[in-house]
Structure 1
Amino acid sequence: MDYVIFSSVYKDFRDAILDNIPDMTAMSKRVSAAIPPICNILNIGFIKIKLIAPSSIIARNGLNQEQVMYEDPNGFESMPIIQTYRTGENGMATIEIRAKKSHKFTPPELQAAKLISDDIFIILGRSRLMSAIHYASQTDTMTGAPNTAQLVHHSIELKAKNKLQNFSGLFLNLKNYKYINQSKSPAIGDMGITCFTRSVMAMCHDDEMIARLGGDNFFVLVKKENRDIFVKALSSMNVSVTVPHGPTIPLTIQSRIGVYDIQPQDSMNEIMHCSSVALNESRLHPGNDIVYFTKKMLEDAYHEKEISSLFREALRRKEFIVYYQPKVSVKDQKLCGCEALVRWNRNGQVIPPSEFLPILEKEASICLLDFYVFRKVCEDIRYWLDAGIEPVRVSSNFSRHHLGNPHLTEDILAIMKEYNIDSKFIEIELTESSNFEDKIAMQKFVNGLRQHGISVSIDDFGTGYSTFAAIKDLNVNVIKLDKSLLDHIGDEKYHDEVVIKNMVNMINELHLEVVAEGVENSKQLDFLQNAKCSIIQGFLFDKPLTKEDFEKRLSNEVTYTHIS
């Protein structure tokens, strides 16, 4: 063997195959194309590689394949040299090398042939590793579906071909999937998601794609003419989970879907943003699980971002003003309490609470505002006491987001202590809702307040699913009927009067205070008096008042005896 010639040819061989090719098949072809000069010098007549590997990230069903890398047209010897290697995933690679026909390897040729075998294994192994890395970066490992990175790459390719505007984007969230995990098991839940994903993948054709974004969120890129077919199928899909050595488990997977028809100028970021805005709308309106994007939704989303970005600075600048809406005793129509309400004075313009409270509630910034208002309430009560004005009990709203604060009761008491406020002047108002998931935290919070003599009220009573559970399980002493219950008073088509009378009667029998809010006319007032509702709050008596105007009510400068 001419070592000088071999050295030169070997270098050309290495240069030809040392490319970053994350595809074993493509790399095998590259090796096959580059290796004949080497085989000619070393008198190699045949090279074959066999790979056996268990299931892995790049081969879910494992591997058992072989490939001929080189075959001399003039034939080869029958006795092979076999080199065996262990792969990274605990598999086995075997490389078989045979001499040309009628030739026996010399020791130098044999040594060089083994070197070539090592090179082939290393190069192909490197290619498989790169393939695994590429796969992991582009694929959801649990389901085998594309991930966000692959989705974006795919969209770029479609846009380059001027095809992307022919598609619609569907942003999916699997509804209440945590209950499947809880009622079945997390393992069955994972298998259910995998079955769902593969069913949708089977529906995709001609550049359509489903990508798992994480958890129970997915994105489907579907041709516009197939959009409605996919929406119908994805809104409720039946899948069967096969459990090893167990029965097949049927699951019904329902989805919320935000739908966006892609425009020519859209990037994937814009597509996902618009469809996610539509999806968020479906979350805000239970029962409306399929929402099609409109420009107004985007305007509302930008408004939310604007409110969020302005909030903390506005809080620092004390742009939030506390108003007080009187509560009036039905018995003598005298002031007996009030509710602290907040308004936002932004550059001389008053922003109504409906424009910012739901946004702050959504992102839990409401907790900062609640304490801001409560501190102002304590400050105003202290001012009235020092001025010789006897306050009434003031109710201050606290969001359920506070339940994550283990020191909530202590924080409230600390502010009261700072201003030396007696507990008889304070009422903490909580929203009655089906979302009181942390029952233990709520009970602990209410009990802590009641132990210190602080009144606790349930707001919007009668609108949630946990209405009677709230009375039974929480040690509250005030119940506020939601204003929506009064909307049909006097209308015989509705049964609201019967419902309210029985609610008020039950609350009275439990020796709790009952407050009706949103009272706007004398017909509602007469009904509530007859139903023995003890306290009224609403525009019939007073709108929310500034601190200065409310002081006039406290000083008895304004009374309510003129209202009959």
Structure 2
Amino acid sequence: MHGTYNFWLVGLSLVVATLASYTALDLSGRIASLSKRGQRHAWLAGGAGAMGVGIWSMHFIGVLAFSLPIPLGYDFTITACSLLIAILVSYFALRVITHETLGPKRLVCAAVLMGLGIVGMHYTGDAAMRMQPAIVYDPTLVAASIVIAIVASGAALYMAHALRAEDQGHVLAKRMAASLVMGLAITGMHYTAEAAANFPPGAICGAANGVDLRWLGTTIAIFTFAILIVTLMLSRFDARTASLVNSVSQLNGRIMHMAAFDSLTDLPNRRTLTEHIERALEFGKRGPGLFAVLFMDLDGFKTINDSLGHTVGDEVLKAFAQRLVDCVSAGDTVARLGGDEFVILMRHLGLAEEAQRVAEAVLERMREPIWVDARSLQVAPSIGIALFPRDGDTVETLLKNADAAMYAAKRAGRGTCRFFEADMNEAATRTLQIQHALHEALDKGYFSLHFQPKFFGRDGALAGAEALLRLNHPTLGLLSPAEFISIAERNGQIVPIGYWVVREACRQIRRWQAQNLRPTKVAINLSPRQLAQPDLLATIQEIVHAEHMSADQIMFEITETAAMHDVRRMAETVHAFQKCGFEVAIDDFGTGYSSLAYLQRFRVRQLKIDRFFVDGLDANSDEGTAIVSAIIELAHSLGMNVVAEGVETESQRKKLEALRCDELQGYLLGRPLTPEAFGVLLGDQNQRVPREATASRAAPLGAPPLPR
């Protein structure tokens, strides 16, 4: 007998096969992403059921598309067996494609078994018709259907395994294309097997009174689409829910990480360090548990951060953090407290010297420069060490004492380490008191200016003055600049203090002018922290203009060390000041780099010889004289005036005059004077008294000697 095909049903079978294939691809990705074993088994079972129904229904829709001139039906039991075969084959396929690896051997074996299962499902479905006489099959086409089933199964397994990852690019489009290919292959296998079936003339269907074809067709069409679509929806919903849960979990983990670790260096932060020290304390109090806290910060980091920018500063901090990690053992903790402050917690020490060895290793490692944007930067830490139980038995005490030891290391010359000692707390307390005094000094008027006169070397006439800052606190008393300037420089207070000095110097010059005293040039020191401010010149100009002061009455002094830190930038700063009418001097010449080649780039108005070389005129007469003479000759050749500071003996004065030093400054000629006393000196200079009289009158007017 010959049958005919309903091509609408043929097309529907292809759609069902494609949809079943896409469901398989989607489920493979969903199952592969699950980590819990119970969830994987549940989705495997549910997915196998949905996929099996899809494959089975494609087969029966294809059968329904074929019609014979005799009544047809299907045995319910055999039909149920074919459905069971389809579900088992689908379960096997999902287990294979969700496996971590799919090697060639596993793929071939799985393809053969799955292909035979699909073929078995098909021919079992044919057997459900119970044809009499039985269907005669073409061996060649049967073999072809088996080959097609195996090849199609292998291709389907390979594509499903390859496309199971959800995070690959264009995964939806790839799965749709792959499902169409798989659907065509499955459909092709089915109709090849159908072509292999020959129905003898006069054959009847023994199951014609079994499952009704119309009922079967309607049921299959409705339930297949419903099951596959619901399965896809559940898969997508569950995937989105899992993705949301995973995102929330990752966000929560990130928040917890941010709460416990420093965002820049990824080191433990203060909170985490505190917890680690608390655990070390608990362990140490139960038995012998010596451990050390190493507190450190980077000397010179603020200058780098302010002058080169926070981006460069951040790179320096990250490089320093990595070097710290490289210097400690696995059980130790390296933490960043903030800014350039770091702490190492060393557990289970045998001897205190082990902490010192680590500190020295850190110092040695930091002698190597840090490279940022092809720029070599040199920074070194000062390290303070506190030991448990000797130096404290609480987190706060140990950190405070290690901090005090770190400041002692700074006072000892920086770039070194110190163990905590009891008297260091006194120095730390003094530092805190001075910091507090600096905070309130500007508002409450505790600052004042003294003026140390400078005299011409050729005739002893008054050449100008240097403004020197003093702090007279009601509790701490009179503080010298040596005590509070370095603290103000470290914590940044030097910037507003420096602007106050400029403003107060301008006001004092105007007061002298109001008294009809002769005009004089006042020199003001600029610290490295001030020079790092991008708006330094603009702010100074605003102050000078607001005080109605002429720029030619003010000179700014920059130390040689600060000038040589970034020569290019400092040269630009000097030239900018000069364009605005301010004169600039290099102070403490000879104490830093002593790079004479750079002097020509700066083109400053004045060079101040450091007192160390002036002292050398007496201590090493010939050598000292030769050095000072060379400096003066060099400066004169570059068009600079030379000031010798720290002149304290008559022999120094005479030698400097003989060497043609332009100006002299020191206690021999005049001590730092109050504004009123300096005004008297200005009045005396109107009569141009002899130098010896000037010196004798100038000295008594000042307060007791105060170091600069």
TM-score category of the 2 structures, normalised to the smaller one: 0.5 to 0.7
TM-score w.r.t. length of structure 1: 0.66
Quick one: distance in 2 between partners of 1:375 and 1:128? 57
2:681 to 550, 553, 557: 553
* Corresponding position: 1:402 with 2:527: no
Structure 1 residue 432 displacement after superposition = 1.9
Structure 1 residue 125 displacement after superposition = 7.8
SS for the counterpart of 1:514 is strand
Distance 1:273 1:462, change over 3 A: same
1:155 counterpart letter in structure 2: I
Distance 1:497 1:362, change over 3 A: farther
Whether the 8 Å CA contact 1:488–1:494 is kept in 2: the answer is no
The worse-fitting range, judged by mean Cα deviation, of 390-399 and 502-511 is: 390-399
Q: 1:233-312 maps to which residues of 2 (within 5 A)?
A: 233-236=358-361, 256-263=382-389, 265-283=392-410, 285-286=412-413, 288-312=415-439
TM-score w.r.t. length of structure 2: 0.53
- Which residue pairs with 1:3 in the alignment? none
What do residues 41-87 of structure 1 show as CA deviations (whole Å, max 9, x unaligned)? xxxxxxxxx998xxxxxxxxxxxxxxxxxxxxxxxxxxxxxxxx999
Whether the 8 Å CA contact 1:434–1:465 is kept in 2: the answer is no
Quick one: distance in 2 between partners of 1:394 and 1:254? 36
Distance 1:541 1:294, change over 3 A: same
Quick one: distance in 2 between partners of 1:520 and 1:560? 15
Whether the 8 Å CA contact 2:506–2:547 is kept in 1: the answer is yes
* Corresponding position: 1:515 with 2:643: yes
Quick one: distance in 2 between partners of 1:452 and 1:317? 32
What do residues 285-306 of structure 1 show as CA deviations (whole Å, max 9, x unaligned)? 5465222223443333332332
What do residues 355-410 of structure 1 show as CA deviations (whole Å, max 9, x unaligned)? 22221122222222222222222222222222221122111222232334444334
Quick one: distance in 2 between partners of 1:276 and 1:465? 31
* Corresponding position: 1:342 with 2:473: no
Whether the 8 Å CA contact 2:449–2:468 is kept in 1: the answer is yes
1:462 to 590, 597, 603: 590
What do residues 323-343 of structure 1 show as CA deviations (whole Å, max 9, x unaligned)? 111111111112121111122
* Corresponding position: 1:373 with 2:501: yes
- Which residue pairs with 1:447 in the alignment? 575
Q: Larger helix proportion, structure 1 or 2? A: 2
- Which residue pairs with 2:370 in the alignment? none
2:274 counterpart letter in structure 1: V
* Corresponding position: 1:325 with 2:452: yes
What do residues 137-173 of structure 1 show as CA deviations (whole Å, max 9, x unaligned)? 5567998875543332232223234439722212355
Quick one: distance in 1 between partners of 2:542 and 2:283? 64
What do residues 220-247 of structure 1 show as CA deviations (whole Å, max 9, x unaligned)? 33345343234324523799xxxxxxxx
Identity %: 26
1:229 counterpart letter in structure 2: E
Distance 1:440 1:386, change over 3 A: same
Q: 1:8-87 maps to which residues of 2 (within 5 A)?
A: none
Whether the 8 Å CA contact 1:200–1:210 is kept in 2: the answer is no
Structure 1 residue 561 displacement after superposition = 2.8
Quick one: distance in 2 between partners of 1:357 and 1:432? 17
* Corresponding position: 1:219 with 2:343: yes
* Corresponding position: 1:488 with 2:616: yes
Whether the 8 Å CA contact 2:382–2:414 is kept in 1: the answer is no
1:424 to 552, 556, 578: 552
Distance 1:266 1:310, change over 3 A: same
SS for the counterpart of 2:555 is strand
SS for the counterpart of 1:325 is strand
Whether the 8 Å CA contact 1:143–1:198 is kept in 2: the answer is no
- Which residue pairs with 1:389 in the alignment? 517
Distance 1:342 1:406, change over 3 A: same
1:232 counterpart letter in structure 2: R
* Corresponding position: 1:150 with 2:272: yes
Whether the 8 Å CA contact 2:381–2:415 is kept in 1: the answer is no
What do residues 391-449 of structure 1 show as CA deviations (whole Å, max 9, x unaligned)? 22111222232334444334333333334333332212222215654545533432233
Distance 1:282 1:436, change over 3 A: farther
Whether the 8 Å CA contact 2:459–2:691 is kept in 1: the answer is no
Whether the 8 Å CA contact 1:403–1:438 is kept in 2: the answer is no
What do residues 476-515 of structure 1 show as CA deviations (whole Å, max 9, x unaligned)? 1011111122223222499433222111111122221110
Q: Which runs of 5+ in 2 are unaligned?
A: 1-35, 39-97, 101-163, 168-233, 306-311, 366-377, 697-708
Whether the 8 Å CA contact 1:360–1:366 is kept in 2: the answer is yes
Structure 1 residue 518 displacement after superposition = 0.9
Quick one: distance in 2 between partners of 1:194 and 1:425? 48
Distance 1:459 1:301, change over 3 A: same
Whether the 8 Å CA contact 1:403–1:441 is kept in 2: the answer is no
* Corresponding position: 1:476 with 2:600: no
SS for the counterpart of 2:671 is coil
Structure 1 residue 204 displacement after superposition = 5.0
Quick one: distance in 2 between partners of 1:370 and 1:174? 24
Q: Which runs of 5+ in 1 are unaligned?
A: 1-27, 32-49, 53-84, 89-113, 180-184, 240-251
2:428 counterpart letter in structure 1: A
Quick one: distance in 2 between partners of 1:452 and 1:536? 27
SS for the counterpart of 2:384 is strand
Quick one: distance in 2 between partners of 1:309 and 1:514? 39
- Which residue pairs with 1:15 in the alignment? none
Structure 1 residue 538 displacement after superposition = 0.6
Q: 1:194-209 maps to which residues of 2 (within 5 A)?
A: 196=323, 199-200=326-327, 203-204=329-330, 208-209=332-333
Quick one: distance in 1 between partners of 2:401 and 2:326? 25
Distance 1:162 1:459, change over 3 A: same
Structure 1 residue 546 displacement after superposition = 1.3
What do residues 96-154 of structure 1 show as CA deviations (whole Å, max 9, x unaligned)? xxxxxxxxxxxxxxxxxx9xxx9xx99x9899867776666556799887554333223
Q: Larger strand proportion, structure 1 or 2? A: 1
